[in-house]
């Protein structure tokens, strides 16, 4: 007769193949993304320094990084920063740049909709491009622990805040960080992630469609919209080929 959990004293666990959210996953996510997170700090410093140059108080710069946690949107906001603040334009700009998170959330839905709501929202609160890519790569390997997204996002958030603080309070003394080549780190990272997900030549058509749409959109559309157009073009092309 098979032993039950009462007989063995074992704790109940999630059934095989069922998504979970554990402290172990949170630690793993933070540790795995730590090397990349260090390279995010120069971007945080650059934002803090740019905010200081725009006469944005350091406390406001820190509040922006802590609440928005969106580098591209924050730099876009600085471009529009003037007195009086064009609040409607700022809101629309942030919406345009960050609307890609709708697509990121849709990609995570098959995994995260099976995670309790409170834990799901806590992980999505720290969603960014790098930890999304890391989490999806882990999912491709068969990982089911959604804590990976939360831990990696939390690590990125702390580093982003630290970089913003350095830049806001002392960025004027640091000079141009681009001379160290940090601006190429994120591009190289995402190129490696994309190539790591290569399966066959069937993947090439959606990639080309996404790249072409994004490139065209960057020339014809306001800042940020080319990301959404490229993602939609790649997704629609991939779905069409899958349907065929």
Whole-angstrom distance, CA of residue 179 vs CA of residue 193? 25
Q: According to the model, what pLDDT value does residue 161 have?
A: 95
Average pLDDT over residues 169-177: 71
Residue 213: CB atoms within 10 A of its CB come to 20
Residue 4 has what pLDDT? 44
Mean model confidence pLDDT for the chain: 81
Q: Report H helices in 125-198.
A: 129-140, 147-170, 185-196
Instruction: List pLDDT tens digits, range 130-170.
Output: 899 889 988 888 888 999 999 999 999 999 999 999 989 88
What is the band of 197 on the pLDDT scale with cuts at 50, 70, 90?
Answer: low
Token match 């702390």: residue? 158
Least confident among 40-44, 72-76, 170-174 = 170-174
pLDDT value, residue 183: 58
The count of C-alpha atoms lying within 13 angstroms of the C-alpha of 99, restricted to the half-sphere facing its C-beta, is 16
Q: What is the mean pLDDT of residues 108-121?
A: 89
First to last CA, the chain: 50
Provide, rounded to the nearest whole percent, the portion of the chain with pLDDT above 70: 81
């Amino acid at each position: 007769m098979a032993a039950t959990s009462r007989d063995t004293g074992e704790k109940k666990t999630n059934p095989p193949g069922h998504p979970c959210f554990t402290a172990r996953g949170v630690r793993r996510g933070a540790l795995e993304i730590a090397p990349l997170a260090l390279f995010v700090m120069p971007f945080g410093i650059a934002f803090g320094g740019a905010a200081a140059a725009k006469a944005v108080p350091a406390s406001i710069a820190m509040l922006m990084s802590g609440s928005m946690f969106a580098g591209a949107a924050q730099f876009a906001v600085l471009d529009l920063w003037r007195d009086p603040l064009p609040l409607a334009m700022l809101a629309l700009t942030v919406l345009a740049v960050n609307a890609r998170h709708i697509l990121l959330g849709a990609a995570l839905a098959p995994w995260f909709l099976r995670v309790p709501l409170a834990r799901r929202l806590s992980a999505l609160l720290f969603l960014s491009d790098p930890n999304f890519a890391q989490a999806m790569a882990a999912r491709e390997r068969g990982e089911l622990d959604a804590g990976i997204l939360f831990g990696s996002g939390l690590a990125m958030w702390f580093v982003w805040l630290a970089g913003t603080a350095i830049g806001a309070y002392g960025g004027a003394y640091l000079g141009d960080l681009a001379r160290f080549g940090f601006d190429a780190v994120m591009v190289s990272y995402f190129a490696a992630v994309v190539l790591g997900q290569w399966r066959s030549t069937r993947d090439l058509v959606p990639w080309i469609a996404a790249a072409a749409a994004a490139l065209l959109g960057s020339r014809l559309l306001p800042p940020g919209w080319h990301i959404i157009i490229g993602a939609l073009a790649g997704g629609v092309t991939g779905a069409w080929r899958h349907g065929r």
